[in-house]
Structure 1
């Protein structure tokens, strides 16, 4: 039986390299925020947005969805801060932590990871030798560790080193996500233009 999963969607970054909020970039007439929320709502029965802007901005874009909004405790202090801030709002034992700059995310990864996590605290993909700490599955206890560690470590890497982790290589991931599009972040104007060209769109 597939267990219920919460989704934490990190949407509180500064988007310095992009020059505008990545959550509200559009693809096929929808914002990245809408696309990712729609996909993950199919697999997660709880959506929690970690944000720093006015809540109404997000509500305006996600009218058709049920979700919680949590303001980061320490605005613009990185993803570990956002993850630490949402702990008390999580209802389920498993948490898929996603980022708002990957509109091509494959929502089937949620169940794929859920079947593999076993007694581990987290599943962490490894692509081209680099760990991918976002768009993957954690336990709620792992998020508690992030909350307890915050201030002592501020990087996702430092947090992951404190956990019991199942690392998955890209060959395993490609069984579900051919092309590994779930881990191709859109961080710069050039990357956004390339994405639009892929879909034959204009800025």
Structure 2
């Protein structure tokens, strides 16, 4: 099964105050840490138009903005754009603001995309995580329909799919892997938590 890796970096980062993809932590940018959780296959980065040149300066080959007329319409548009730009059988998706997601977690999700499943979605703390997930190519038409109807909520889209939900503890994924760094306070709390864990 041909796998395509999709890194979502198209958010405006208004609450954080600077582009989150390029924030450095422990010597690596957030997007690099998220990208390291991918396995084999080509990696596509979906970002805002003004950030394309910066990504390509870091030797990233496949960097695209959302397709028109869906530009700025959120993660659904980002995933659909990746499916249009690069053909694959499955699409492993990670948001750039989850720098702690691990390769082990993503591999466990990829292994569960079998049979008739349209998507594999982890669940942590009773919350579905559709932006750390794996999607089959057959969802592309539904994503297009949702976008053209301006139905942008991932939760609404998932209800129309055959989804394999996986509890985080079932695959040994730590809760920290699903933490989104949306604000500077989130970042400070994450650093404090990691430092505390290192001292235990």
TM-score range, shorter chain: 0.7 to 0.9
The structure whose residues are more often helix, as a share, is 2
Aligned-partner Cα distance in 2 for 1:146–1:46: 21
Query: Could you tell me which of 88, 93, 98 is aligned with 2:94?
Result: 98
Q: Is the alpha carbon distance of 1:108 and 1:170 closer, same or farther for their aligned partners in structure 2, counting shifts above 3 Å?
A: closer
Query: Could you tell me which of 44, 56, 75 is aligned with 2:53?
Result: 56
* Greater than 4 Å deviation, 4+ residue runs: none
Offset of residue 94 of structure 1: 0.9
Offset of residue 199 of structure 1: 5.3
- Please name the residue that 1:34 is paired with: 32
- Write the deviation string for residues 113-148 of structure 1: whole angstroms up to 9, x where unpaired: 222221200011222222111111111112332123
- Please name the residue that 1:156 is paired with: 154
Unaligned 5+ segments in structure 1 are none
| TM-score between both structures, scaled by the size of structure 2 | 0.86
Q: Is the alpha carbon distance of 1:96 and 1:25 closer, same or farther for their aligned partners in structure 2, counting shifts above 3 Å?
A: same
- Please name the residue that 2:198 is paired with: none
How many pairs does the alignment contain? 190
Q: Is the alpha carbon distance of 1:171 and 1:37 closer, same or farther for their aligned partners in structure 2, counting shifts above 3 Å?
A: closer
Unaligned 5+ segments in structure 2 are 196-200
